[in-house]
Structure 1
Amino acid sequence: MKEIEDTSGRASADPEVVIITSPRETSCNDSNGECSDELLTGDPVEFRAYLRNSGDADLDNMQYSVGVYIDENGNRGQLASDGLGNDLSWNNYNAVCVTSPSCQNPVLAAGDYLDASGTLLKNFDGTVIEWTPSTGSYFIVVEVTSNVLGDPGNNEQSISVKVRDYYDVAVDLTWMSQGSPVSGSIEGNDGNPKDYQLSVSLDSGIPGMTIRDASVRVDYSDGSSTSFTVGVSNTVNVQETVGDSSSIQTGTRLVIGGNNNWVGVANGSITPPTTGQYSVTATLTQFVLYGAHGDSVCGASSNPTAVKYCEKTLTSSDWEDEYPGSNVATIDGSIETFHDLSLVQFQVWIGLDSEDPEVYGSIGIDITSTLSPGEYELYAEVGHVSSNSASLYNWSVDFTIADSSGNQVDLITANSCDSKVDEPNTQIGTATVKTPDAEMLVYACATVNLGEGDFSIEADANLLGQWDEQSLELNDRIGDMSFTNNRYEFDVSLTNFAPQILSLDINTETIVADTSRSSFIASASVFDVEGDSITYQWTDVNGVDLEGCEGEQQCEINIDESMTPTFRFNLYVEDSNGGYDTDYAEVSVLNMDWANSTEGFLADDLSVSYSMVYRSTGLSAQYLNSTAQTDISLPGYDGEYSSVAGFVMTPAGSFDTSDILEQSMTVQFKTELEVTSMWLNIGTQWLLLNDGTPNEVDADFSSYTYEWSQGSSMPAPASNFYLFNKVLTVASAPEANISGFKADATIAGGISIDWAVNGTMLSDERVVVSICESDANCSEPDESRYDDTRTSILYAGQNTVHGNTYYVTASICDGDLCSNEATATVVADKEVAGVTATDLTITESGETWVLNWNASSVDSDIASWLVCYLKASFTASEMNDLIGTSACVSADNESLVINKYSTVGTYDVHFSVVPVDVVGNTASSASMDSVEYTRSTDNTNPGDGEQTTDTEASSGVPTWTWGVIGIIVVVAFVAGAFILSRGDDGEDEGKDWDY
């Protein structure tokens, strides 16, 4: 499905790659493996593509690039590289620009194609981008870029191509005179044999390829023949197993091709007859190719995984010569003048006289790529090769086109080419005073229009007779004496590029049935490479033609509510060659409905009109008279109000808010009611819909209108709407306000919040405390409310994160109206700074221990120290259990005097010293040092301080554990004394507030 584009508001350029037309994408038949439009190794490739500005504003900045990527099992891999390791990518940053004299185009107008049609892609310096491919599978990617964003989805196109190896063995013959070649035919008989030279050359896309011992049969017109084996003598490998140097066998062979481009040459002669004509014809019969030809030719290797190379003799039955037409050559002679014209060039062109023409085929080179249907120019060159260059001839070229069944489709005779020369050359030969326009090489062209299919295109050079410039007469009894060089034929395949629907555009964003916006115009942008005429067919989802759109590029489509929520339409386009493209688009359709009250049904002459724009159908509602409201309070307003009219609305069914675009209600009432406001009442909730001066309907009636915001739900069933005639008095904020407000961090991340109230709070007023984490304007603050009996709270540390900032506000509110807002900022503190006690010393002084230590660093967070000691070593976790008991003593600075135990015994006393921060957070540490304690006389309660007892020894429980257990009991008792409470009148239960 094409993405619908709304063109009503867009005004920007959009660079687009529409299609790559050259090279053609390679397509292969899975059943037989045959491929069409393969590229040939070493045969230069140029790139053509259609690039356009598909936006609706001029484009003055566009670049394009071409990249050749490796095909990795059907996926685009890395950039391919050439033989020197350079990436196969080209960039033209001067394609469209105005910033440099090197810019190739200053602007590309909206809708225009670069270069008006298909572009021959060039480098930034204007040179044509050319790729000399090597064997393999590739992706060719053409991409456009610009500082104008446009639609990124149309910036790139890619095609897949395959490149295969090829070679062509060409045979050539020429007459020789005194060791020099003679062009064309020869004449006369001096009684001596006529010399000729035979040559065999190799053209290959495979680097370094050679053939060996090329054999050529030479046939003479008298029926005799001879043969030659040609090449340049060299010692070469004739057999080997790759990787095994001992297996190499060598021999002397006649070599053709290779890196030195060796040509095989042989010389011969023929004795002419006493009268008439004679000829020499050379035909390639066989040659030897060295390579891995398999076990059947080379024999099996002793190593089954090794590759074996050997020689194989190839003939016309099994060689893979790309252009077999060059395997034969003929030269002619005559005792008298040998009259002969030769077709020296034949090509198929597009844009013969343009700056960047496309050229297909040549004499000896077939047309292997698929062509597109359309107009072509057939181009031929005819050469004068008679034995007497002074002979003048009239000439022509017949261009014959036949279909795949051999039926002649067209025949065009031409002897001029306006695209090549300004004036036609009626005669061919050496120019004279009387015939100054004669030329030895003349040109013929013909324009043809080829449809889709397979065709043969043939060019025949005709010698129409000898021109006598003295009598100005044509002797048509003189004809061409050799037809072997007059004719050439191409077999071509033409496949249509189907048209492409580039986009479907509509002229509006929203389609609303039953309104003035209930129709839209859809228009198609269609591209066709061949420029064929396009027919259009617009249908609905059922395939029924849309009325009034037959054959048109755009279609006006009328919408009704039956098409909600989506209307889908189809487009079929077809070109004159039968190529087609299809697509469809979907338009969101909205419906506008009304649900009005029945005239005269509601009391007080009320009438209601409720309308909705939505993605559905079936809107209706029931209206009933409402019960009057007397002396009620309205939110946000002071005083009491009584309704003067009202009604109850119950919609029949409901629609999801995502399907509702608009909804509104207009209530009409008698002007004499002096209505000042309209309200919606659902349960205990009241919503002001409109107030102030109503709209005048006529002399007797006025109205209020309310429009719900998008995303609002429909009125609930039994919604009450009321009209009031008393002027609304806006409620004011509480007069009491907050003073003395502060918030401080406390131990374990808590926040202590305190305030005072100036003035007297009314019974409905509350102190509202809000706390936001990290963002002072958070959308969901932690909020609580208190009456005038509360002036402080503790926000529990379990709600905070150490180091985070908390924004605290307090104000006195009545509903949504609040007095001044007091603010404070607090950073939660749950951790002590990373300071430790170092260099701890413990000395005895009478009945005390004197402890001294140093702080590892100075930090303002440290307010005091805590020393804990026990008759056994303890861990940091166990120290936490000691804090708050008599086993821990506070110190204001880095020294402390502790009274010794008074119990009998000898044991080690272990000490730990930790810092305490400014809010009371205490660090913990395992015992750090110890001293030995000994006392022989018990001067306290019996057993106090004993490290072990018989019972303890028997139980196997360490003494210090009993001390900790006792401490835990104490802590539990103390903790149980705390009472947690918050709020007033049971409000906000479940909040994490500690008091």
Structure 2
Amino acid sequence: MTSGEQPTLLEEMTMNKLTPMILAIIMLASTSLVALDWSELENNSLTEADGRSGPDAEVGDILSPRATTTDSITGEQLHTLKAGDDVHFEAYIENVGDSAITEMGITVTVYLSEGGARGNIALDAAGNELSWTNGDVVCDDSFVCPWSSLGAGALLDSGKYTMSYQGSPVTWTPMTGDYVVVVTTDAVGDADPGNDYSENQVSVVDWTDIIVDLAWDSGKEIEGGSGDKAFTLTVETGGSSSWSARGIQLELAVEGTLLTAVDNDGTDIMGTNVIGDNSSATSGFGTYGSTVTWMHQDDANNTTSGERHVIGFENSSTWNGVVSPDTSGSSGDYSISVQMVSYVIYGQLPECSETVAGNSSSGETEPMTYIHYCEVEMTQDDDAATSEDMIEGKVQTFHDIGVTSLIINQGYTMDGNLVESGPDNPGLTEGPLNPAWSNIQASVRHLGSDIMVTYDWEVSFEIENIISGAVHTEVADMCHDGLGDPYDHHELGESWVAASAFETGEACIMFNFAPGIYDVTATVSMVGGAVGTEDMSARNDDSS
């Protein structure tokens, strides 16, 4: 029908029939909506929610090892693992359900990465699969599980659970390669299995390390008082596989309140010095001799040699010096610091490439690239933390005592609280421990600059059950039931009075370990003493 035309009889009849049909449909829909029971919908929703209620273990993140990522600008891999360095597994695990978890196990598995996906389970050096399951993380037996339950909304081990197996932390010593680390929980009645795991992609790489170490020959952490103070600089190579370092150069800085500073040859070393100029047999670190410095890729007889200082893998070299403090004043400080400047590596390296013209079978000239063997200077290794060190001293007498070791002795036969025999299992420095009476023993030492200045002392032991939060504190200054001969209390140092003071001492206590996870700390402190003889270094006062 065009505009302006009147509808025909057939069209008018069709429209008349559609109108009541549309009204009827609207009325039916309205009636259905009125009759709908909205409470029924609400109940159905609640029923579905109730189906998901209960305990729900969620692996929120793997804290260790961290996932390896790639810098989008430089292409550098970040957070890689070092081949041969032990790795422990830590995870953030939470009960996100609305009721407690009463039984739960945890599994850690390391897979080979195949294009970013999980491949086969990786193997260790002995051919064993890298997969560990601890089924006794949460249960109702306190002699088996460290946690009896994990409440709704609670974090396992304060949000940093370390995977353990048979009472000891699980340790992975990785080889180079790409891996997928997966942490999985298995909680009884878990409401949502979809959040029971987390995975990290990690890459393990080879690494090299130049390790420098400065130490006072006296063994003291900080020197003090008058007289010459000898020191030793040690240089060592480390890494994940065998290699050697050539021509190591270090920068040594000697500063402070000093009269003189010389090396073994009597050369003045006050101020800043470059050590290891490699100009002679005695001016570098390592073994001096002739060695190959360049070799052709395809011709082992085409070589160049030169005189070099070389340190082999995990070998070391030492350098010595002596400083004399200026004691004309009543106080003053001095220091000796060292940092790695450079070293040289030898091998078939990208920097050794050479491109030359060559002939093809077609008679046309085509370039050929060789990767020769050559020397390359490096200014940074793969572990900057070990590339520098410092020792310090004071003109005045330096007062210091410290804890040198902390051990746990087990294997005692007891009569009530009295020791009848033992220990049969002494000198433990880590778990697992047997739930039994044990001896906690700390060794202490005089670390001051003047051994004739003696110090009275005591050790405070703190044993914390990190599951229950219970803390036991006890003080001791002698040790009769520990490792070694019985020790009665004496001051630390040396004295003209026979047997009144000794350089070292022992303190120990007996403690009955119940099943659980513990932090044990021993802290030594001076007792009494004259004004001005207080402990001047807190860095060595405790051990855990």
Say which of 170, 173, 176 aligns to 1:132: 173
Mapped to 2, the partners of 1:78 and 1:340 lie a distance apart of 58
Alignment correspondent of 1:262: 315
Cα distance change on mapping 1:120 and 1:182 into 2, 3 Å: closer
1:288 aligns with 2:344: yes
Alignment correspondent of 1:145: 186
Cα distance change on mapping 1:98 and 1:293 into 2, 3 Å: same
Alignment correspondent of 1:312: 376
Say which of 215, 226, 234 aligns to 2:249: 215
Alignment correspondent of 2:84: 42
Deviation at 1:30, TM superposition (A): 1.1
Cα distance change on mapping 1:390 and 1:25 into 2, 3 Å: farther
Alignment correspondent of 1:199: 234
Q: Which structure has the larger Rg over C-alpha atoms? A: 1
Cα distance change on mapping 1:33 and 1:343 into 2, 3 Å: farther
Deviation at 1:262, TM superposition (A): 0.7
- Letter paired with 2:376: K
SS of residue matched to 1:6: helix
Structure 1: segments with no counterpart, 5+ residues: 346-354, 357-381, 394-415, 442-465, 487-995
1:387 aligns with 2:449: yes
Say which of 75, 88, 91 aligns to 2:130: 88
Counterparts of residues 326-405 of structure 1 (less than 5 Å)? 326-330=387-391, 332=393, 337-339=396-398, 386-391=448-453
Mapped to 1, the partners of 2:291 and 2:126 lie a distance apart of 28
Alignment correspondent of 2:110: 68
Counterparts of residues 687-706 of structure 1 (less than 5 Å)? none
TM-score normalised by the chain length of structure 2: 0.53
Deviation at 1:288, TM superposition (A): 1.8
SS of residue matched to 2:194: helix
Alignment correspondent of 1:473: 531
> Given that residues 289 and 309 in structure 2 are in contact (C-alpha distance below 8 angstroms), is that contact kept between their aligned partners in structure 1?
yes
- Letter paired with 1:388: D
- Letter paired with 1:46: H
> Given that residues 353 and 369 in structure 2 are in contact (C-alpha distance below 8 angstroms), is that contact kept between their aligned partners in structure 1?
no
Mapped to 2, the partners of 1:323 and 1:61 lie a distance apart of 45
Mapped to 1, the partners of 2:349 and 2:84 lie a distance apart of 23
Deviation at 1:199, TM superposition (A): 1.1
- Letter paired with 1:132: T
Residues 289-335 of structure 1: CA deviation (Å, up to 9, x unaligned): 2234434x565589946533322233xxx32352257424345475x
> Given that residues 241 and 301 in structure 1 are in contact (C-alpha distance below 8 angstroms), is that contact kept between their aligned partners in structure 2?
no
Deviation at 1:263, TM superposition (A): 0.9
> Given that residues 402 and 447 in structure 2 are in contact (C-alpha distance below 8 angstroms), is that contact kept between their aligned partners in structure 1?
no
Cα distance change on mapping 1:139 and 1:184 into 2, 3 Å: same
Mapped to 1, the partners of 2:368 and 2:110 lie a distance apart of 37
Alignment correspondent of 2:280: none
Cα distance change on mapping 1:248 and 1:104 into 2, 3 Å: farther
Deviation at 1:236, TM superposition (A): 5.9
- Letter paired with 1:153: G
1:185 aligns with 2:249: no
Deviation at 1:391, TM superposition (A): 4.8
- Letter paired with 1:31: I
Mapped to 2, the partners of 1:26 and 1:383 lie a distance apart of 43
Deviation at 1:121, TM superposition (A): 1.3
Alignment correspondent of 1:322: 383
> Given that residues 239 and 309 in structure 1 are in contact (C-alpha distance below 8 angstroms), is that contact kept between their aligned partners in structure 2?
yes
Counterparts of residues 646-725 of structure 1 (less than 5 Å)? none
Cα distance change on mapping 1:219 and 1:467 into 2, 3 Å: farther
Alignment correspondent of 2:469: none
Mapped to 2, the partners of 1:164 and 1:112 lie a distance apart of 37
Cα distance change on mapping 1:320 and 1:280 into 2, 3 Å: closer
Deviation at 1:128, TM superposition (A): 0.8
Alignment correspondent of 1:687: none
Mapped to 2, the partners of 1:235 and 1:84 lie a distance apart of 40
- Letter paired with 1:118: K
- Letter paired with 1:313: E
Residues 194-250 of structure 1: CA deviation (Å, up to 9, x unaligned): 64432112343x222332232345555547327341124587654345676445666
Cα distance change on mapping 1:24 and 1:183 into 2, 3 Å: closer
1:169 aligns with 2:210: yes
Residues 689-716 of structure 1: CA deviation (Å, up to 9, x unaligned): xxxxxxxxxxxxxxxxxxxxxxxxxxxx
Deviation at 1:254, TM superposition (A): 3.6
> Given that residues 41 and 165 in structure 1 are in contact (C-alpha distance below 8 angstroms), is that contact kept between their aligned partners in structure 2?
yes
Deviation at 1:424, TM superposition (A): 11
Mapped to 2, the partners of 1:324 and 1:116 lie a distance apart of 30
Percent of residue pairs bearing the same amino acid type: 28
Cα distance change on mapping 1:304 and 1:106 into 2, 3 Å: farther
Cα distance change on mapping 1:9 and 1:253 into 2, 3 Å: same
Cα distance change on mapping 1:423 and 1:95 into 2, 3 Å: closer
Mapped to 2, the partners of 1:82 and 1:251 lie a distance apart of 41
Mapped to 2, the partners of 1:19 and 1:82 lie a distance apart of 24
Alignment correspondent of 1:231: 286
Counterparts of residues 548-567 of structure 1 (less than 5 Å)? none
Deviation at 1:76, TM superposition (A): 3.2
Mapped to 2, the partners of 1:328 and 1:112 lie a distance apart of 43
> Given that residues 218 and 283 in structure 1 are in contact (C-alpha distance below 8 angstroms), is that contact kept between their aligned partners in structure 2?
yes
> Given that residues 467 and 473 in structure 1 are in contact (C-alpha distance below 8 angstroms), is that contact kept between their aligned partners in structure 2?
no
> Given that residues 446 and 493 in structure 2 are in contact (C-alpha distance below 8 angstroms), is that contact kept between their aligned partners in structure 1?
no
SS of residue matched to 2:169: coil
Alignment correspondent of 1:453: none
Cα distance change on mapping 1:432 and 1:68 into 2, 3 Å: same
Mapped to 2, the partners of 1:207 and 1:235 lie a distance apart of 24
Mapped to 1, the partners of 2:452 and 2:340 lie a distance apart of 34
> Given that residues 142 and 148 in structure 2 are in contact (C-alpha distance below 8 angstroms), is that contact kept between their aligned partners in structure 1?
no
Deviation at 1:63, TM superposition (A): 2.9
> Given that residues 18 and 51 in structure 1 are in contact (C-alpha distance below 8 angstroms), is that contact kept between their aligned partners in structure 2?
yes
Q: CA RMSD in A?
A: 5.3
Cα distance change on mapping 1:98 and 1:288 into 2, 3 Å: same
Residues 66-108 of structure 1: CA deviation (Å, up to 9, x unaligned): 1223344433333333344443322223334579975555555
Residues 925-980 of structure 1: CA deviation (Å, up to 9, x unaligned): xxxxxxxxxxxxxxxxxxxxxxxxxxxxxxxxxxxxxxxxxxxxxxxxxxxxxxxx
SS of residue matched to 2:50: coil
SS of residue matched to 1:185: strand
Mapped to 2, the partners of 1:291 and 1:59 lie a distance apart of 57
SS of residue matched to 1:473: coil
Residues 438-494 of structure 1: CA deviation (Å, up to 9, x unaligned): 9999xxxxxxxxxxxxxxxxxxxxxxxx9993xx53489xx98xx9x99xxxxxxxx
Cα distance change on mapping 1:116 and 1:237 into 2, 3 Å: same
Cα distance change on mapping 1:100 and 1:64 into 2, 3 Å: same
Mapped to 2, the partners of 1:250 and 1:86 lie a distance apart of 45
Mapped to 2, the partners of 1:424 and 1:34 lie a distance apart of 52
- Letter paired with 2:92: Y
